[in-house]
Structure 1
Amino acid sequence: MQVEVVEDFFGVYLLYCINPKYKGKTYIGYTRDPNRRIMQHNRGTWAGGAYRTSNRGPWKMVLIVHGFPNNISALRFEWAWQNPTKTIRLQHLNLKKIPRKETEFQFKLRILTEMLRVGPWYRLPLIIRWLEKDYYEEFPTERIPPEHMKICHGPIKSRNIKKPGQESSSSSTHIECLLCSNYITNCSSKLTCLNPECDLLAHITCLADLFLQPGEFVPIQGNCPFCDTYLKWGDLIRKMKGCNNDIDVSDNLNEINDYSEINDNQVNDNSDEDVISTQDKEFVDNESKWLLEWDNDNL
């Protein structure tokens, strides 16, 4: 099976233990490099694995949710998935313990399906990727993720984009935005239409302004101002980042500061080498990509 390469990767994963002594145990974590992360978990804490998974493997990374705009967004999702009884987003479920009819794995999947359908996550263009087909379970019809989210299968490889200042000057562009007539000086802020025959070139902010509906901070969908093709905002962002080039145009973020458990500390490292999980270590990178951070007052 072909490995899909995703740029600027931020993911929250679910591990499943296949050790007979601990079989059925699960672990939720955050990573920028899923292939390296699963090796760390299986090698132990000496290799950067988490304390809770050390000496209990082997583990399999069966599912990963990605498409988060930055690690702040991903880490908040991770914390809520780990702590469904504490997050205010899931209080309506009245969760206290795992029902007897559910395994720990099924319980974690049920929590995930609920999280994907409540704010602020239901607005994000997330991808739910099954990495191990033997563990795949269909979402119940009453808890199917929003239509703009994708459910897919197969391996993945991350390729993280260099931060500003690390790129060579030759990578900059001076293309005219066809919406505001100003130059697009950074490739990471340029959007193009999914229709290969369309000439649209625009700043991400210019197109967002056209797609935004009253009361929204981040768009979900809209029609191309040039060819009138129906476009999903998440598909445009994924194309801008160099992934999902097989998007069918015919098929066609509001993340808010929410959890006090995660500190807003600047981090200069662009990897997750020192980042285990919010269960093991607090970590946040305040650098905003295509997502704007909003105060709780904007909920």
Structure 2
Amino acid sequence: MEDVDEVEHFFGVYLLYCKNPKYKGRTYIGYTVDAKRRIKQHNAGAKFGGAWRTSNKGPWTMVLIVHGFPNDISALKFEWAWQHSDVSRRLRHVPKKKSKQKTFDYRISVLNEMLKIGPWCRLPLTIRWLDSEFANEYSMQVSPPLHMPISYSKVVSRKIGKKSKKKNALERKDLLDDLESILCSICGKFVGSNEKLTCVKPGCFLISHIVCLAEKFSTDDMILPIEDIF
């Protein structure tokens, strides 16, 4: 796990495991926009931004983090449901924790179930294992939908300034405007300026006919598209 991935617009929900012999086995579920900074805060204590439930009980290890949520609200709802699986209306079908079952094992089983039900099963999430020891033992117990990748590398969140966003958007618009004859990315035929659709994601230069894109997305049974068109 020496590789590090850089992710923009990062909203993540993580699972901690306590390695302190006195509190070993305890877990904590939280939300963050910066995984590296957050684990440092937890291990430093509440005075340094860590949660009171983890304060003075370290060391903690961040076992995994789920990210790819469209915004903070979406991530916080996922966090709450994972924390309170016993009262979440979406998880009523999930069996209660057994008395002899380890808390960590139960957290993993709940996560596995959450990734398979709506609305989370339709999100472009990534399941990222940050601790190789736990990944080796538990990774097979988390089987998300096929469109959700599983990663085994560290992650660094990258902030995009407003000026950079505006500059990139203008450069992209200028490039598209300069192209008089544009080919549809789906059918390969010419696209008129009044019938083209472009992607809102920065850095994506997909261009297509409205009808072509509609037909492409209609091949999936899901109401909302969950996969790239290519």
TM interval, short-chain normalised: 0.7 to 0.9
Aligned partner of 2:125 in structure 1 is 126
Per-residue deviation at 1:4?
Answer: 1.1
8 Å contact from structure 2 (residues 199, 207) kept in 1: no
Aligned partner of 2:201 in structure 1 is 188
Q: Which segments of 5 or more consecutive residues in structure 1 lack a partner in the other structure? A: 193-200, 224-230, 232-299
Letter in 1 for 2:46: T
Aligned partner of 1:258 in structure 2 is none
Percent identity between matched residues is: 46
Match of 2:167 among 170, 193, 208: 170
For the residue of structure 2 that corresponds to 1:93, the secondary structure is coil
Larger radius of gyration: 2
Q: Please state if 1:65 is matched with 2:62.
A: no
The structure in which a higher percent of residues are helix is: 2
Q: 1:148 to 1:215 in 2, by over 3 A?
A: closer
Alignment of structure 1 residues 196-207 onto 2, 5 Å: 201-202=206-207
Q: 1:58 to 1:219 in 2, by over 3 A?
A: same
For the residue of structure 2 that corresponds to 1:111, the secondary structure is helix
How far apart, in 2, do the equivalents of 1:36 and 1:47 lie? 11
Letter in 1 for 2:201: S
Q: 1:186 to 1:120 in 2, by over 3 A?
A: closer
Aligned partner of 1:113 in structure 2 is 112
Q: 1:207 to 1:45 in 2, by over 3 A?
A: farther
Q: TM-score, normalised by structure 2?
A: 0.79
Q: Please state if 1:221 is matched with 2:227.
A: yes
Q: Please state if 1:212 is matched with 2:213.
A: no
Q: 1:145 to 1:23 in 2, by over 3 A?
A: same
8 Å contact from structure 1 (residues 208, 218) kept in 2: no
Deviation by residue 1:113-132 (Cα, 9 ceiling, x = unmatched): 00000001111121111100
8 Å contact from structure 1 (residues 190, 202) kept in 2: no
Q: Which segments of 5 or more consecutive residues in structure 2 lack a partner in the other structure? A: 177-181, 185-190
For the residue of structure 1 that corresponds to 2:65, the secondary structure is strand
How far apart, in 2, do the equivalents of 1:9 and 1:206 lie? 32
Q: TM-score, normalised by structure 1?
A: 0.62
